[in-house]
Amino acid sequence: MSRGIGKAAYKPVGVVMGLAAGAVAGAIFRQLWKVAAGDDDAPSATDEDRGWGEVLAAAALQGAIFSLVRAAVDRGGAVGVRRLTGRWPD
C-alpha cells in the first residue's frame, strides 16, 4: 500500500477511534470520581459551590485519564495498521 493511501485510509479510522477513546475515558473518569470523591457528579469549573482544589483536582484527573486512554487507543490502532499493512501510519 502506498504511503499516501495508507495515511488516507487510517485517518477516518483514527477519528472514530478517538471518539470512542473519549467516551471510554469519560466513563472511566466518572467511575473513578465516584470512588475518589464519593460524589456522583464531578465539579465543573463554573460550579459556585465547589472550591478551587476540588475543581482543579477533577480537571487534572480527567485530563490524565483522557490522555492515557487516547495514547493507548492511538498506539493500538497504529500497531493494528502495521500488522495489516506492514507499514506504520504517519
Q: Note down the domain range covering 64.
A: 3-85
| 43: in domain | yes
CB 32 within 8 A of CB 61: yes
pLDDT tens track, the chain, 90 positions: 555 556 677 788 888 989 999 999 999 999 999 998 888 889 999 999 999 999 999 999 999 999 999 999 989 988 988 898 888 887
**pLDDT at 11 (0 to 100):** 80
The number of domains in the chain is: 1
| 81: in domain | yes
User: pTM of this prediction?
Assistant: 0.81
CB 33 within 8 A of CB 57: no
CB 30 within 8 A of CB 42: yes
User: What is the grid cell recorded at 87?
Assistant: 507499514
| 90: in domain | no
**pLDDT at 6 (0 to 100):** 62
